[in-house]
Structure 1
Amino acid sequence: MQKTKKKKGNEEPMDVDENPTSTQNGDTQNSEENNVNDDIDHISDDEEGGMRIGDIYIPPAPKPALTFDATGPRLLITHIVNENFKSYAGVQTLGPFHKSFTAIIGPNGSGKSNVIDSMLFVFGYRATKIRSKKISVLIHSSSKFPNITSACVAVHFCQIIDGCGALDNIVVENVEAAQACLEHLKRNNVGRATFIALDKQQHLRQHYERTVTYPENVPRLFDLVKVKDERVLPAFYFALRDTLVANDLEQASRIAYGRTRYRVVTLKGDVIEIAGTMSGGGKTTMRGRMSSSVQQDTSEQDPRVLQANEKKLAALDQRLSELRSEQVNLEDSMVSVQKNAREGKTTLNKLGIELKSLTEQVPLLKNQIKQQENKAASSKVDVKQKAKLEAALKTAEEKLEKAKHDAGEVEKEVHGVDAQITAVAGGKVKDLQKTVDELTKKIDKVSTEITKLKVAINTSIRNAKKSKDKINQMEGDQKETEKTLESLGNQKKELTLESSRLQKELEELEEQINEGTGEFAELKQEISKLQGKENKIKGERLEANNAVTKVEKSIQDCRSKTPMWEKELTTLKLEDPGLDGIPGIERPAPLDQHTPEELEGVAVEELRNRLAAQKARLGDAKPNIQAIQDYRTKEELYLKRAAELDEITTKRNEMRALYDQLRKKRTTDFLSGFNTITTKLKEMYQMITLGGDAELELVDSLDPFTEGIIFSVRPPNKSWKNISNLSGGEKTLSSLALVFALHYYKPTPLYVMDEIDAALDFKNVSIVANYIKERTRNAQFIIISLRYNMFEVSNRLVGIYKTEDCTKSVTIENKVPEQIGRDVA
């Protein structure tokens, strides 16, 4: 088995990690939990289409195999090479297949379905899917080729790639404008488009404004782009990135495969991607995607230019009317000349036929003369008879001469008519045709110029309207400014009044200060009285100091006895059993510290008896000190396991929240696509059946992934039915409507269908065939068909036939004669 792919180029997305995660000094666990919580709250999507969940980066999905644009990138099958596969003996090439619609036709039993089987064989399907019980049946076997032991199938693909498809995107100011444009396209059903919102591309400025030196001083493709409005530069960088421009493929290879990988394009259109893939070549190179000069801005044109354009437009309109009148007169003259030419040709044909008839009579008359001469020689001379025959001969000769003369006249007349026709048709008609062609070109040129001038006038009018709106806006701003100045004047007056009020308050405060000076004198007298009292208190303090001296002397005596008692206390030691934190067990209270006054009232003998009893009790008890240590060990293990449980529980809750969020996102995305497909299914089925209806329903609307979907159909003039209860033709139409709806939601590059028109009438076959022809040009359809309504509208026909139990094929272009003539021209 062999599978061959041919590609013209490829563009790999580049994953850039713009949000690296780092841990600062501090509580690492809390930092990680915060990071996880942030990731749960927001799953970030980067500009390349990837998804980041915490430290996990999910790269973007592979690029689609096709786009909605008929000329955009997509994958297609060029041809299939079967070698000894099923009914194909030897090497048989099927194709080439058309990029849009190819019909496979042939009689029953010729091997049409084996085309599909060969594809399934390459795509890895089991023998049962290829209508075979075992693999050996796939090898060709016939009386002419009886001992073949192997089979081979090669499916050749071709990928149409746009090296920089983003150049076809439409640039808008912001996301709101892009959304409005999308709504307009959807509302009017006029196709699809991709928009670049400039407000979302401003972060790219720091990338293209930096100064970087590239290998061999080659320029960036972005730097070679010249724009008049620098606001669109982020859009160009979004499309081109850091693509470098090399002179030839050799220089491009040196730069692209160096220490640092670059995307490099040559002046001939060859591209080397960062991933290392190389694309380019081909017979033709696409040009003109970008204009070499900046279009002129008409926003600053004055009314004089507008008036001049209007006058020029009026003159061109008048000239166009004159040319059209002249064209009508020339067309009438050409019709008259063509009529005369046809009549001359008819006369010429009649004279030619008459000349041919007379020429054919000459040998016959000569033969008759010879016969008559022989008869005359063999018979006896009869004077009367001889005279009679000579008279007849003379009459015949005269007729012959007359016939020759008439023939000569006819030939001269024919030559004259021929010369006249040649003069008329070769001269006047040729000149008239040349004049008509020149006038047609002039008319087209004038029409083009008129269209351009009309566009310029409309643009100038629109720009004038914008200028008028700007003037109105500036006048409004001026009025607002005047109102602001008036408001500031009022505020100035209010501040002046406020200043006067504060000046009055300041004078009042100065008066209050003068009044306070008198009160200060009174307070000074009162201070003198307080100083007398202070002297009296100092005397009393001196007496108290003397009393304190006596007390300190007594304390010094007690301190001299303290070391003796402290030495006595050191011999007493309270063992710490380590029972802190054990539930139900209290720590023994510390020894009480008594004052000398309290010790004077204590009975010493009673204390001695209590001490002896406690010692005896302590001697009888034998505590297990190791049990406390074991408890401590178990407690530490318990706390460790409890912390681990809390951490695992937290992570479980986080993963559960993330799972619920992803599950909700999956449901939202599914329901969004489901609604789109249901709407398109209804539209497709109504279009195909001209009045029917179809819809998809969820069995369980709360959880659409458990019970599945019900496909209900209402054929025209019938009731609602499940698809399993429909007839063969109705099932075919319903299935095709679903296929087309799915193609609208998520296009597939290749469709292979086996006799989908078998159960349909000619009307439905024509509807389906024309829909495939007109509305699905962005995919490749290979359809096996026996109905002329289907294969007559295809782009290419692959005929399958069988001779000597061996299948063969022939491919032809399915074009009408007029289309072939246009292609040749």
Structure 2
Amino acid sequence: KMEMMDKLDLITDSKTAISACNSVVESYQSRLNSINKDVSILIREKDAFFLEKESAERLLTETEKNEEKLNKEYHETEIEYRNSSEKLKKIESELHETGSSLSTEKSKFNLLNDMEKSYEGYNKSVKAVLYANDNRLLENVRVYGTVADIVKVDEKYETAVEMAIGGAMQNIITEDEDDAKAVIQYLRKGNRGRATMMPVSSMKPRWVEDNVLHSMSKMKGFVDTCDRLVSCEDRFSNIIRNLLGRIVVAADYDSAVLMAKAYSYTYRIVTLDGDILQTGGSITGGSVNKVTTSLLSRKRLLSELETTIVKLESKYRSLTSGKQSVSENVAKCKEKMEQLNKNKRDMELERIKYENRLESLLEKLESHAFKIENAKDEKEQFKKEIEKNEAELKELHEKLSGIEKEIDDIKRVIVEFEGQNKHKRQRKDDLVTDITDYKVSVSSIRESIESINNNLQDSERSVQVLLNGINQKNEEITKNQEKIKNVQLELTQLNNDIKGLTEKMTGANLAVVKLDEEKKNIKLEIEEARKATETGNKNILLFKEEENRLNVRSTKIQSDMDALKSRMFDEYEMTFAQAMNIQTQTEEDISPKKISALKNQINSLGSVHVGAIQEYTETKSRYDFLTKQQTEMENAKEKLKRVVYEMNSVMKTKFSEKLKEINKNFKKVFYELFDGGRAELALADNENILESDIEVFVQPPGKNLQNMMLLSGGERSLSAIALLFSIMMLKPTPFCILDEIEAALDDVNVYRFIDYLKTLSDKTQFILITHRKGTMEGSDLLYGVTMQEHGVSHVVAIDAEQIEKTG
């Protein structure tokens, strides 16, 4: 029975162990289910985060592509904006030039047109006839204008033809002698002067004989007869041939002389430069005033100017239209750039948002992956514990089965034994009962202790798991704290960057405001310059018009003289020199006998033209007036030449003296500013002092003598300062303003500059605009301009001498 009791104790122990194992397995299984549930949740969250991450990456990629596309579009728009702006500037410049040219050409056209309408350049009598004809004051009188109106000639032959026609250019063309008579009566009736008529019906052509023309055409320099170089209507051909048929055009003076000698001065010969070889041997020539327009070239110039004006107006309209189109394109590009800038900022903010979201998702995915990995490790650990407990449970069940078999055997033995010893058995049973009760109590206590131990082990395991989890959490917390610190550092850096950018933006805004003000000032200056330019252009046009009027007047006087000479030759076959000789003879004393002989000769002439004396008086008076004017002009010219010569002599002397003094000062100042070296001023052309360039040769210490332009920027600046001081030493000024003159100098040279400047301050007050500290340190008074408030400037003054006195 004792053995049985032991076996029963073993069964009880085994059942207790099995119960404990079952409890542990159930606890492990419950924890395993909880872990599986947590893992499932973490996996679902991870999958959701992963999908969100892919979405964020896709959106980030799209945002970056859109941002790149916006940057590309902005760059293209910016290039288009710059190109359009440059094109607009070019068009505006071309438009200004075209407008100026158009204004100039219109002014020329209006001037010539006014001259044409007012018959400028014609004699008073011719003007009166032309005016009467245009206004239909000559009824039933057929007047076709002047010779200048009917003749057309190429520009290269204009001078030759004009000199060949001479005063006949103003001859009035009528249909017949009756019309010429009506015109003469109109002039006589109104005392309007005299004019030469050329009736179409009575004019006979003149020409050079064919054999002479044939042989002359083979000579060097022969051009053609003058009548064949002009064109006119067929009905006026006799007039042109009468005037020009026997006049030959030669290429140059030498050719003309050879032709004249070959044909014994039988024909008038005109060169392309306007020189005239008269019949009989006299020669007229010299310069031709090409500044003014002649009667012959006026109509051609009017036609050319009209064509030019039409082209310029078309070009101006085209440029105006192009300017409007380009201006609209510039405005569109600017507006588009502003919109693209706004879109870029929005896109950049969106990209930063996606980047932050993606970074957050990656951290969450990393955290969930770590948690899942820990759960899997814990799950594997619990699985191993469950397998171990199941193995122990199986072993306990097998042991329990063996014990139960052994108990059954012992029971059979006991039954047999009980039958033999019932009383002992009863006593034994009581004892066994008591023992059993005690054992049960002990077993119960053991079981409680075992359960407590098992629970304690479970608690220790749970505590260990929790400690592992806590350690992991602490590690995560440590990592997160480091990340938080990094993020805080980045945030601090970003705040500093934002602050710096804000300050820069504030500075940039101030700079923009300043630039806007400068832009407004520049626009005002440009507008003033434009107005001044327009005023200058108007004045230039007025001066040009006045110059043209004076040239026309001069041309008219010259034309009148040529007309008188031509008329004198045509009517009296007398040259200007011959007339002067006759005038000289008439002014000499004549004896009474000679006077009587002359009177007899006059009487023998018969009837004389009564108006000849009046004509001679008027002509002589005009000639005397013109001769006097010519003499006065020549005298004035000679006086001006003498004045200019004297002025040039004085200027050369003064300039040479002052240049030597400046050169001497320059050597001295250069040596002091550079602490050595030498410098020199030299004329590039000693023969032409007043127009010669001045070359500056300098040799800083340790360098070769060379031209100033081969030096460095600082050396050039200091050399220029030395030259400036040299000129100032020649004639000191009361005050001098220097605007950042020492900007290119290094600190050492700045102090040399300010030290030398002080040596000149006893005669000159210097006002310096500077940013250099050395210059400020050497100044007596400092004035600074600050802008503490936007748009409000304050002047701060510092008296260095006062500060030194007060300490």
TM-score normalised per structure 2: 0.25
Q: More helix per residue: 1 or 2?
A: 2
The structure, 1 or 2, with the larger RCO (C-alpha pairs under 8 Å, 6+ apart) is 1
TM-score normalised per structure 1: 0.25
